[in-house]
Chains A and B, each alone.
Chain A
């Protein structure tokens, strides 16, 4: 798990660590969560369950990948749930039960996600408050979905789309592989390309970026477009995993994705953080939910425990970050 190299990797002893100390808090928290869960429930630490957790985290995780770029440029995108729902719904309709329609459905999903993200980026780059903007877009998308479908889904997913993506290669769910491949690509883009470096620069110091000749607005738009793209892919992941969604299915996913990004260490202040951190954040939340499911806690308790884990991880992250800032 590496992000853009920074001085944070240096310790007081002058030794460079492969992982920024601030991230260690999250990793330790996840390991600790797994150990506690394994102690409380024998079934938790089985490979099958852990891989299932990764699969369960894939919808939120894929959405969080693109959302990371938005937060890196000091933005926020809560239209994610609306994009997921509308894309899953439209992709179902385009597939209409035929494998031959899969490429078209995927293409439509990608174009739709990019279009919505670009729209968000265009307005955000011109000063519209991103939270209000994307909240409005998300609500409008859910309303459009309702208007379009009349409350019922249209068509059926293609049989192979679900059967292939829900399969396993050996013990590993295909959706888990898809999740990590997308994360890997995004991490490479973030860490190894000019685009990624400029995203960091725009978020860390927009004035410096502008003075350096970097078009801040362009990279804000591209960040939101990336978020729209990954939200659309998350919609396809949802469709593969669970079939056509209801209007309820996407609700709350935007905040889960945002929590994954923040838990993973990407800062609202911009310029700091990375994709692998968001992946870890998504896994942490999925682990917490899985634990409470396995313990058979009532739903209200599940929400409490999930919130408590988020607070504990955030506290661990803050404590380690404070320590590393003092180095």
Chain B
């Protein structure tokens, strides 16, 4: 027992919150219309304050994303074969993203075939998948990585073979081998959620933070965005940060522990609706809903249904577009046409006000669903 106590004490002295370097899968996201520049996040701070969050917390890599791409070497006449290398397909967000890639390809008649692969979170398999696509001489490769760093060599090989690559649904990367990015900006997404949360709290209070899988691009950037915004509001205290891993069950368990540990929690920072759902359930079951404000989250249908049923807890949305898959196809088409293209094309994140957010809910659909404008034949499941 002494050993156990000593171990627990020693570990209790460890600092909490650790977010390793970026890269790695993004995972849960959302959808909206693409745009060529970072979309405006919530600006202004709490309680009528003059804090310009957007200016004070600028998007990392904005300048690099604006750089031009030399597309002349990739210009080719059709017909085209599109390679789609999925690092994983095991969550609803990527399933919709994948569906949007298919839909986008169907809109361009020069794409006569699509070669697909799913690495199932196995980075070695994804390397092999891309090598196969190079062997098959696809015209271009759209991919979302298990780990971008591990793919660098094979992506360079693809470019050397005249095959452009587009990194989709992940954070921006100018790593060698990546021709262009069609990215979700986790930083803007997180910054919007954080800014709206502190605004709702009037710039004061104690909050907790639920992040995706530790080490992922999403977790790292969302955490960075939160920290930057909190730096502008010294009266907001971050009680704790934990990784909910985009999992409702885990997020609920974490929150149950928080509710025992902290007598009062004023706000929850959780840009992922899937995790927000677990957090909210825990608060509800503990009878402590009245004390808490939730940050805007993404448009995960389970969360949309929940905020529609709890309008007093509806803080709106910070979108995370699954339609970035279609954006990726458009970027690829531009490259194959030899048109001027920038290194990064942004899709989302936009703030959706509470009234409009509640209307996006599809009660008849599963929780694992994302608002979309896909034709029925392209839906991941019905």
CB of B89 closer than 8 Å to a CB of A:
yes
Within 8 A of B (CB), among A236-252: 238, 241-249
Q: Are B94 and A151 in contact (CB under 8 A)?
A: yes
When chains A and B are docked, how far (Å) is the Cα of A146 from the Cα of B121?
A: 13
When chains A and B are docked, how far (Å) is the Cα of A169 from the Cα of B256?
A: 18
Q: Are A246 and B247 in contact (CB under 8 A)?
A: yes
Binary contact track A22-66/B, C-beta < 8 Å → 1, others 0: 000000000011011101110110101100100010000000000
Q: Are B89 and A296 in contact (CB under 8 A)?
A: no
**Given A52-B256, A242-B252, A92 and B8 contact (CB-CB distance below 8 Å):** no
When chains A and B are docked, how far (Å) is the Cα of A46 from the Cα of B286?
A: 13
CB of A124 closer than 8 Å to a CB of B:
no
**Given A152-B380, A243-B302, A36 and B366 contact (CB-CB distance below 8 Å):** no
Contact segment of B37-45, B162-170, B172-180, B237-245: B237-245
CB-CB under 8 A from A151, the residues of chain B are 89-92, 94-95, 98, 380
Within 8 A of A (CB), among B249-299: 249-250, 252-254, 256-258, 260-261, 274, 277-278, 281, 285-286
Q: Are B246 and A248 in contact (CB under 8 A)?
A: yes
CB of B1 closer than 8 Å to a CB of A:
yes
CB of A297 closer than 8 Å to a CB of B:
yes
Interface of A is mostly: helix
Binary contact track A250-294/B, C-beta < 8 Å → 1, others 0: 000000000000000000000000000000000000000111111
Q: Which of A49, A289, A299 contacts B214 (CB 8 A)?
A: A299
**Given A151-B92, A151-B95, A241-B252, A249 and B8 contact (CB-CB distance below 8 Å):** no
Q: Are A49 and B260 in contact (CB under 8 A)?
A: yes
Q: Are B260 and A44 in contact (CB under 8 A)?
A: yes
CB-CB under 8 A from B240, the residues of chain A are 296
CB-CB under 8 A from A44, the residues of chain B are 260
* Chain A min CB distance to B365 (Å): 8
CB of A144 closer than 8 Å to a CB of B:
no
Interface size on B, residues (CB 8 A): 54
CB-CB under 8 A from A247, the residues of chain B are 90-91
**Given A247-B90, A295-B12, A36 and B278 contact (CB-CB distance below 8 Å):** no
* Chain B min CB distance to A63 (Å): 14
CB of A324 closer than 8 Å to a CB of B:
no
CB of A304 closer than 8 Å to a CB of B:
yes
Q: Are A152 and B8 in contact (CB under 8 A)?
A: no
* Chain B min CB distance to A16 (Å): 27
Q: Are B3 and A312 in contact (CB under 8 A)?
A: yes
When chains A and B are docked, how far (Å) is the Cα of A45 from the Cα of B258?
A: 14
When chains A and B are docked, how far (Å) is the Cα of A151 from the Cα of B281?
A: 23
Q: Which of B9, B249, B281 contacts A238 (CB 8 A)?
A: B249
User: Which residues does A use to contact B, with CB under 8 Å?
Assistant: 32-33, 35-37, 39-41, 43-44, 46, 48-49, 52, 56, 92, 97, 146, 149-156, 166, 238, 241-249, 289-301, 304-305, 308-309, 312
Given contacts A44-B260, A151-B89, 18 further A-B contacts (CB under 8 A): A32-B1, A33-B4, A37-B8, A41-B260, A49-B260, A56-B253, A153-B92, A153-B368, A154-B381, A241-B249, A241-B252, A242-B249, A292-B11, A293-B261, A294-B257, A295-B11, A295-B12, A296-B261
14 contacts between A and B (CB under 8 A): A37-B8, A43-B260, A48-B260, A97-B364, A151-B95, A245-B249, A246-B246, A248-B246, A248-B247, A249-B249, A296-B242, A297-B16, A300-B214, A301-B11
